[in-house]
Structure 1
């Protein structure tokens, strides 16, 4: 513990040194360990599209669907929860119970309605600590604290451990709210330097100085009337500007009638401006009062900041409690609006999801979403998923990862039933893309992410692998996919969803291997291809690649040529006996050819037996092959 305190002090000292100022709002450092949360690397966050997409459409992310928080600080807390799902089943279970309680008592909407006028108290309090808070920050804080009695009344009858703890964290801030109501005007100006921030009645001295400035208008009206009568000049005016102060203005035509006690102050094109001893004395008095009023107001404003800093820590705890209540009320709203159910976190290993749906796809599509089941247990640790492109393999894989993630942040989930055992990591290898900044090709990026998964996945990790090995030659890709699948199933023993177009990998599902096959099918209806989006046991029997290409708009001539070549390749495959892949064969840099490999040079080479050739014959054969090439 002393070492931790010393480290925290060193970190705070470093921050203050680099920021060149004291940071009084930073009172402590919270230690987060990897054992507290479900680990997700940057690739996983990107693949699952938690809060961002490549096209920038935030609405089509998990955050876009889940975030119905009312306050800015609630939105920030939800984003932090999404990026750090917890492994502590007690904490997450209390959140689930709190959401269920809000739904059962129909109080989530009451909370959300109360939060409509709740500002960003969290950031306002940081500015208060740094003494950079503006008048409207204080009025927003005042309005937020005024909501607390209503929020406490809503929470008081609810029987939930987490809601009770948050009710206690809100605290009593009635005195602070009264002070702000008395000190700050209802609609304060943007900046404090121009005055008009402190409410009337808060300070007697300030009220007296303001009264003096207010009475100036009546004095000027009376002075103007007296001078018009004394001089007989009906157009005489008394005015003020910031450069020259107060003045008496007479037009050029009447300037010769100005009394001798008038002192010329400014000459204009059409008028002369004068000052008198009486007006000068009044000016000094009024301007002095205004300056003293501004100085007094600044002093009072600083006093309000001092009073808030004295109770800053309880106010910060209150703001954090309001943020969490905002998130939990949003969870309750989403659960009811989207028909999500309460998940169960179990001590026993495994994942059991019934009729799960993808939260983002379901929310953005008008058509009904086809739900699917998933069961991981000791007998089945990996599913090899086959089926056509556009069939829903990636959607099925992502939806299960998102269901696990949602369950572990305290949200309800898009499934009829979800039982989640201990999960320590969510790791994904999905999609394709290069990294030009680091000089990495698409295949290199794929292998780097795969290597990270193989080094870090454990028996409690959820792993999604999509189309491993597609970026290289057929045999290389198949060999790599086979090796990765075997490693995950036998050594890592992770809960793995392994989507592939290599139908050879379906042979891995042998008894006792922990591997099973799943497929998503499609049905040809005339010239149309209908995707069923339903997950079924067993391997797929075809991939419908040409049909999907037709849907994408490939020219008919190209499609016809592809069909012809496919028929030739299938005929060759039937005529060639199947030879299982061996280690030496997999090391050969081979690839299925698109064109017939036969040539005169190859046929001549096939007829040569190197063991029967003399050196002279071998040299002659080499020249003959050279001429044929």
Structure 2
């Protein structure tokens, strides 16, 4: 659901100052095209549910992973593919330009080569992709023949159509070109005729073509020159022959530009007529690009092919795909969520790795069901229908919702919609309220998910009493993260059976840089509280009262005697406060 997409950081990092490459899509995206990236995102956002469809996609990824030469050839060809999904949409709406058509043609030129590379493909998915790679030869030939190699962006100013495509256009462009060549030679001819070495022939948008002579040479200007413009130090002229040539050029150029626009609109319309075929081709290329991306990541990152089973989630030496790329080292961990132990209560200190571990399992399931390989030594995944998460703290001040209210709202959604085929990830449920209320909620949720919903569940908590509840449930397991206390706490990041005995919150505060005086005071308060809880910190009066209470023989008392004794003990206790 939406909360899981956000908390698992599939596409957007949650941290305001999150580091680059901190999302799943950035880690597994080795696509070469824009449609390929969109398809990869679509697969991660909506993983497959059918085991056969998942296995078919895995077959294609496996073949591409093993076929290094084929994979590299495909990546090279795909780099030349344009975003034809967007192009065909523009063309269909009559908004594409000549560059869009040329980009479409370039992409179509790649298709035969891609089909050739896939000629020996054995997986059904790759064979289906090859079949769908329609080169649309008639459109490709039309574009190659008609559209200029490097056309301008504007479609009304000429230069769009190869003159050889249309006889009339070729004649007009030839007329235009011969006129310009005549004018190019005019400067040399006129310098020879007049003897004016500084004479220049030029053009501007206001006066058109002109012959420019400096004031020092005005006495040598022929009578056939007619004044067109006076400048500060020169005069500009034209001749009847120049004026006639200019008219020919302008008429030929204008008619050629108009004809090019007419031809372009016709070609664009014909290309748009194949929109459905172009879209089908775009889909096939996007699928292929996403598959090649999965295979590239699997080969370069030592991912394994997950087996698709019906007996739960079993992962050997699983790794968090994002964290292992952003940290210098990573400790792999195993996971088993099956019918015998479908709910795991996880305890351990802050920073020991509980949240990373749970997200890791969820991301491995997402990758497996999207069709990719997974960061693990071995994995067997039973497809889940949905992944639910309640991870992290946030509030909605504008909406008037506290952190605890948001937590409870998300929890309500999970309890209402999760099924026995879902994966549920819960991190610190109940921490936004009092300890007593939080534990009560956490216990009730644990029992409901275990007994009623029966979903595969990972539940991280600092309520250590919850591990005792898990021990009483028939299909629950207790897990903890190893730590050792030396001069300071050392996190092993290794998960093992059992329950943690402490949260080490004060030590984490010290590591975070909290002022030493505050840390020391916290340690002393924690020691005193622990001693009181264990009965080791009683005063003499309290100890005497405790001894007196222990010596009372309730079985031998009458009800009245018991009430009197209770009243006396209460009076003594009140006197201690």
Per the alignment, residue 64 of structure 1 pairs with 26
CA deviations over 1:115-145 (Å, ceiling 9, x no partner): 1222212111111112222222222222211
- Given that 2:134 and 2:277 are in contact with CA atoms closer than 8 Å, whether structure 1 keeps it comes out as yes
Deviation at 1:318, TM superposition (A): 1.0
**Whole-angstrom distance in 2 between the partners of 1:208 and 1:306:** 25
The answer to whether the aligner puts 1:277 opposite 2:231 as a matched pair is no
- Given that 2:369 and 2:383 are in contact with CA atoms closer than 8 Å, whether structure 1 keeps it comes out as no
Greater RCO, 1 or 2 (C-alpha within 8 Å, sep 6+)? 2
In 2 relative to 1, CA 342–201 (structure 1 residues): closer, same or farther, beyond 3 Å? Answer: same
The SS at the match of 1:63 is helix
Of residues 545, 556, 559, the one that matches 2:516 is: 556
Of residues 377, 389, 397, the one that matches 2:358 is: 397
Per the alignment, residue 214 of structure 1 pairs with 177
Report which stretch shifted further, 514-523 or 388-397.
514-523
Per the alignment, residue 251 of structure 2 pairs with 288
Of residues 326, 330, 340, the one that matches 2:303 is: 340
Per the alignment, residue 137 of structure 2 pairs with 174
The SS at the match of 1:196 is coil
The SS at the match of 1:167 is helix
How do 1:148-159 residues align onto structure 2 when only pairs under 5 Å count? 148-159=111-122
Deviation at 1:608, TM superposition (A): 11
CA deviations over 1:536-589 (Å, ceiling 9, x no partner): 111112222222111111222222111111111011101299xxxxxxxxxxxx
**Whole-angstrom distance in 2 between the partners of 1:51 and 1:289:** 55
The answer to whether the aligner puts 1:537 opposite 2:518 as a matched pair is no
Aligned length: 540
Of residues 382, 388, 401, the one that matches 2:349 is: 388
**Whole-angstrom distance in 2 between the partners of 1:249 and 1:110:** 59
CA deviations over 1:441-474 (Å, ceiling 9, x no partner): 1111111111111111111110011011111111
Deviation at 1:261, TM superposition (A): 4.3
The answer to whether the aligner puts 1:48 opposite 2:8 as a matched pair is yes
The answer to whether the aligner puts 1:355 opposite 2:286 as a matched pair is no
**Whole-angstrom distance in 2 between the partners of 1:344 and 1:356:** 14
Per the alignment, residue 109 of structure 1 pairs with 72
Deviation at 1:386, TM superposition (A): 0.3
Per the alignment, residue 199 of structure 1 pairs with 162
- Given that 1:169 and 1:317 are in contact with CA atoms closer than 8 Å, whether structure 2 keeps it comes out as yes
**Whole-angstrom distance in 2 between the partners of 1:108 and 1:45:** 30
CA deviations over 1:343-391 (Å, ceiling 9, x no partner): 1222x35222222111111122222x22212222222221110001110
Of residues 451, 454, 473, the one that matches 1:490 is: 451
CA deviations over 1:135-164 (Å, ceiling 9, x no partner): 222222222111112111111111111111
Per the alignment, residue 562 of structure 2 pairs with none
- Given that 1:52 and 1:58 are in contact with CA atoms closer than 8 Å, whether structure 2 keeps it comes out as no
Report which stretch shifted further, 372-381 or 409-418.
372-381
Per the alignment, residue 24 of structure 1 pairs with none
Per the alignment, residue 504 of structure 1 pairs with 465
**Whole-angstrom distance in 2 between the partners of 1:510 and 1:65:** 38
- Given that 2:346 and 2:480 are in contact with CA atoms closer than 8 Å, whether structure 1 keeps it comes out as yes
Q: Which consecutive unaligned segments of at least 5 residues does structure 2 have?
A: 538-569
Deviation at 1:310, TM superposition (A): 2.4
The SS at the match of 2:370 is coil
Deviation at 1:495, TM superposition (A): 0.9
Give the TM-score taking structure 2 as reference length. Answer: 0.89
- Given that 2:98 and 2:152 are in contact with CA atoms closer than 8 Å, whether structure 1 keeps it comes out as yes
The SS at the match of 1:144 is helix
Deviation at 1:234, TM superposition (A): 4.2
Of residues 27, 52, 64, the one that matches 1:90 is: 52
In 2 relative to 1, CA 57–211 (structure 1 residues): closer, same or farther, beyond 3 Å? Answer: farther
The SS at the match of 1:438 is coil
Q: Which consecutive unaligned segments of at least 5 residues does structure 1 have?
A: 1-39, 578-605, 610-628
- Given that 1:389 and 1:548 are in contact with CA atoms closer than 8 Å, whether structure 2 keeps it comes out as yes
Task: State the superposition RMSD in angstroms.
Answer: 2.2
**Whole-angstrom distance in 1 between the partners of 2:299 and 2:42:** 23
Per the alignment, residue 75 of structure 1 pairs with 37
- Given that 1:97 and 1:160 are in contact with CA atoms closer than 8 Å, whether structure 2 keeps it comes out as yes
Give the TM-score taking structure 1 as reference length. Answer: 0.82
In 2 relative to 1, CA 259–474 (structure 1 residues): closer, same or farther, beyond 3 Å? Answer: same
**Whole-angstrom distance in 1 between the partners of 2:146 and 2:496:** 68
- Given that 1:394 and 1:466 are in contact with CA atoms closer than 8 Å, whether structure 2 keeps it comes out as yes
- Given that 1:78 and 1:327 are in contact with CA atoms closer than 8 Å, whether structure 2 keeps it comes out as yes
- Given that 1:424 and 1:460 are in contact with CA atoms closer than 8 Å, whether structure 2 keeps it comes out as yes
How do 1:426-575 residues align onto structure 2 when only pairs under 5 Å count? 426-525=387-486, 527-575=487-535
Of residues 280, 304, 326, the one that matches 1:317 is: 280
In 2 relative to 1, CA 223–80 (structure 1 residues): closer, same or farther, beyond 3 Å? Answer: same
In 2 relative to 1, CA 261–479 (structure 1 residues): closer, same or farther, beyond 3 Å? Answer: same
The answer to whether the aligner puts 1:250 opposite 2:213 as a matched pair is yes
- Given that 1:212 and 1:286 are in contact with CA atoms closer than 8 Å, whether structure 2 keeps it comes out as yes
